[in-house]
Amino acid sequence: MCDACLKPMTGWHGFMELPARRPLSATGDWVSLSHPVGPAMPCASIFPAPSFEPIRRVPQDPFNVTEMRLVTHAGTHVDSPRHFFNDAPAFDDIPLERLCGPGVVWHLPQPPDAVIGVGELQRARPLLQPGDILAIDTGWAARVGTPLYERHPSLSVEAARWLVAQRIKLFACDFATPDLVYHLRRPGFDWPVHRALLGNGILVCEHLTGHAAFAGQRVEFVFGALEIEGGDGAPARVLARTIAD
């Protein structure tokens, strides 16, 4: 996510070409990797907290209806390139092939405020393949609702550029933003990790959970992001299942 004080810019480089899709052979059942949508869903402190209000209730009314108010970057969600680039696609322009397909889960445990460098990514297994989706498990999903969740890890700018060079199509993390944690930012901070990834057509999913069970494996992902017109981000039901190598 980004602070509201920075205006989106132009300069989107477009989606990278994807390799031809290969048939996948599933070896496991679908598992949900999303936080439940509700008052306790993770949300950056710079945004209003989500709210859910019943406006119709049985038996006083003939049916139950709940009104929800939340930013599109609350809970498990996906950023579109429009998040930072006004000349880039919003969610109603994202091809479905960018939101599903094979990939890997890497277990990269981190201490608070850590910055993940290129070397850690290069040592991780299984190896990335062009067109993959990458999800990293740092253990931070277990800290949702605690003060420590705000001291999450991040990617170095060099690590983000390395991922661009690997030609992944989506990066998913179990914390609030792959950019440097808020309290370590200096004046003039311009969200270089988001710009490197989204600027090259790599979508970003934040607040993932439950993917630790797939660490070290190749999986098939589905990022069921809402098709929000003009959407810079969208809540998502994320699913994964193991596949044969």
What CATH number did the domain enclosing 226 receive? Answer: 3.50.30.50
pLDDT more than 70, % of the chain: 97
C-alpha dist (Å) from residue 133 to 14, 157, 202: 17, 19, 9
pLDDT at residue number 7: 53
Does the pLDDT of residue 14 top 80, yes or no? yes
**Residue 57 falls inside a structural domain:** no
Domain encompassing residue 184: 31-40+72-242
**Residue 49 falls inside a structural domain:** no
Q: How far apart are CA 93 and CA 204, in angstroms?
A: 15
pLDDT at residue number 220: 98
**Residue 65 falls inside a structural domain:** no
pLDDT bucket at 2, cuts 50 / 70 / 90: very low
**Residue 130 falls inside a structural domain:** yes
Does the pLDDT of residue 5 top 80, yes or no? no
Q: How many domains does the chain have?
A: 1
Q: How far apart are CA 228 and CA 194, in angstroms?
A: 20
- Output the pTM of the full model: 0.95
Does the pLDDT of residue 167 top 50, yes or no? yes
Non-local (6+) Cβ contacts of 32 within 8 A are 210, 237, 238, 239
**Residue 12 falls inside a structural domain:** no
pLDDT bucket at 6, cuts 50 / 70 / 90: low
Q: How far apart are CA 177 and CA 180, in angstroms?
A: 8
